[in-house]
């Protein structure tokens, strides 16, 4: 993950020139940006036995509601070059069958997030955890973002980070104004409220959160060496914008700059032009389009039961936690339905990307001294 530096500053500078849109970044991301797919590689040789097939079926069932794709790799058959390179580097001494969890679209030189036996992989905690459930709930209630606080285990440092967030977040939220919605350009598609609020979700370094912690620490070079707590602003469908730690947490301006980015009018660009890394979360994000039913409490059940694979039908009672104070379900007249996404939006997205790059190149050239410095 890149810090909120050059790329984000370019976005903040030029996004208004890209496309006329009044939808905030956080809502556009929630409604329009599907989460990138993590890759689950299941290496084995030949046919699986009955117990292994059962574990594989459980793994397939549990990953169905998450942003992950499962690929079986039979080492006794023809193996493509990328999977062979991954196995040669990470799995030659491992007992088969072996499962590797990998970042989206990561090449063979990128280390896997986690590896383990097929039996250990066939557990909901690979795709879901208490913190990730909290992330899903708070993002689908309309909050502009969630401040994910990865605790360090140093109680004094963790308490300082908690105190800073408790003191600064309400003021930051009160100073941010959401763009005024207009009838021009793309429109808000779901009926959940637009809330400039940033609830905090804490992540402890416990076995329940092992996979999430690994994903966060591997999202940016050097994060695994950070001693203190780390803050990740998360928005959309579980996209971590950047990381803040050390001196960053002593400067509220750094936190405010990150959160302001989430609330600006969206430039309607494709997701890949924006900073951030998608987290692995099991969740039915389409519930945002069923908000007229109102959120209902979620019972504590297994991840496979919590969110059904089908994207149709009403929200089940156990889909969500209890709503935050002040949330009211939206009343909808019988017979109404969400309007389909307009076909011109796809053209608008492509045009926005082209205009974004053109604006960036023009601005950089206009500031470049003449002649260019070859160094």
Query: Taking 60 as the threshold, does the pLDDT of residue 15 lie above it?
Result: no
46-57 pLDDT, tens digit each: 999 999 999 999
Residue 92 confidence class, pLDDT cut points 50, 70, 90: confident
Query: Taking 90 as the threshold, does the pLDDT of residue 202 lie above it?
Result: yes
Average the pLDDT over 96-124 and give the result. Answer: 91
Which pair of tokens denotes residue 358?
């053109």
- 8 versus 99: the higher-pLDDT residue is 99
Output the CA angle 83-88-93, nearest 5 degrees. Answer: 125
Angle between helices 252-263 and 25-32 (to 10 degrees): 60
Residue 264 confidence class, pLDDT cut points 50, 70, 90: confident
* Least trusted range by pLDDT, from 19-33, 147-161, 271-285, 332-346: 332-346
Contacts of 14 (CB under 8 A, 6+ apart): 267, 356, 359, 360, 363
Position of tokens 């609020």? 197
Query: Taking 70 as the threshold, does the pLDDT of residue 4 lie above it?
Result: no
For the chain, the structural domain boundaries read 129-259+278-319
Query: Taking 80 as the threshold, does the pLDDT of residue 10 lie above it?
Result: no
298-337 pLDDT, tens digit each: 443 333 333 333 333 333 333 344 444 443 433 323 333 3
Continuous segment of H or E residues that includes residue 74: strand 68-74
Query: Taking 80 as the threshold, does the pLDDT of residue 168 lie above it?
Result: yes
26-65 pLDDT, tens digit each: 999 999 899 999 999 999 999 999 999 999 999 998 888 8
Mean pLDDT for all residues in the chain: 77
Average the pLDDT over 157-183 and give the result. Answer: 91
**What is the bridge-based pairing of β-strands 230-235 and 146-150?**
antiparallel
Give strand ranges (E) for the chain.
38-44, 68-74, 98-102, 114-117, 146-150, 200-203, 230-235, 239-240, 244-245, 277-278
Q: Could you give the C-alpha distances from 326 to 77, 195, 296, in angstroms and in order?
A: 58, 11, 14
Residue 268 confidence class, pLDDT cut points 50, 70, 90: low
């Amino acid at each position: 993950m890149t810090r909120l530096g050059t790329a984000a500053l370019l976005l903040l500078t030029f996004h208004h020139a890209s496309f006329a849109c009044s939808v905030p970044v956080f809502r556009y991301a929630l409604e329009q940006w599907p989460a990138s797919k993590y890759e689950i590689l299941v290496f084995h040789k030949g046919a699986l036995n009955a117990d292994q097939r059962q574990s594989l079926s459980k793994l397939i069932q549990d990953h169905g509601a998450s942003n992950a794709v499962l690929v079986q790799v039979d080492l006794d058959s023809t193996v493509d070059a990328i999977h062979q390179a991954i196995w040669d580097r990470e799995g030659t001494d491992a007992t088969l069958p072996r499962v590797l969890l990998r970042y989206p679209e990561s090449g063979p030189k990128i280390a896997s997030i986690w590896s383990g036996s097929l039996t250990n992989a066939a557990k909901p905690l690979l795709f879901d955890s208490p913190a990730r459930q909290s992330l899903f709930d708070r993002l689908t209630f309309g909050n502009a973002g969630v401040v994910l606080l990865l605790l360090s285990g140093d109680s004094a440092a963790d308490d300082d980070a908690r105190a800073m967030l408790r003191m600064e977040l309400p003021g930051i939220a009160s100073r941010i104004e959401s763009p005024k919605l207009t009838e021009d350009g793309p429109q808000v598609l779901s009926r959940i409220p637009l809330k400039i609020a940033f609830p905090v979700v804490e992540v402890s370094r416990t076995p329940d959160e092992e996979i999430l912690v690994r994903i966060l620490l591997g999202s940016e070079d050097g994060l695994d060496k950070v001693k203190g707590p780390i803050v990740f602003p998360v928005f959309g469908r579980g996209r971590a914008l950047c990381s803040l730690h050390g001196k960053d947490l002593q400067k509220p301006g750094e936190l405010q700059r990150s959160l302001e980015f989430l609330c600006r009018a969206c430039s309607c660009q494709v997701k890949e032009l924006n900073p951030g890394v998608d987290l692995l979360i099991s969740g039915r994000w389409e519930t945002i389009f069923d908000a007229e039913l109102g959120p209902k409490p979620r019972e504590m059940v297994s991840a496979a039961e919590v969110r059904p694979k089908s994207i149709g039908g009403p929200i089940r009672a156990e889909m969500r936690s209890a709503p935050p104070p002040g949330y009211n379900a939206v009343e909808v007249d019988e017979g109404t339905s969400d309007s389909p996404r307009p076909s011109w939006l796809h053209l608008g997205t492509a045009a926005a990307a082209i205009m974004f790059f053109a604006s960036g190149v023009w601005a950089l050239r206009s500031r470049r001294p003449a002649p260019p410095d070859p160094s």
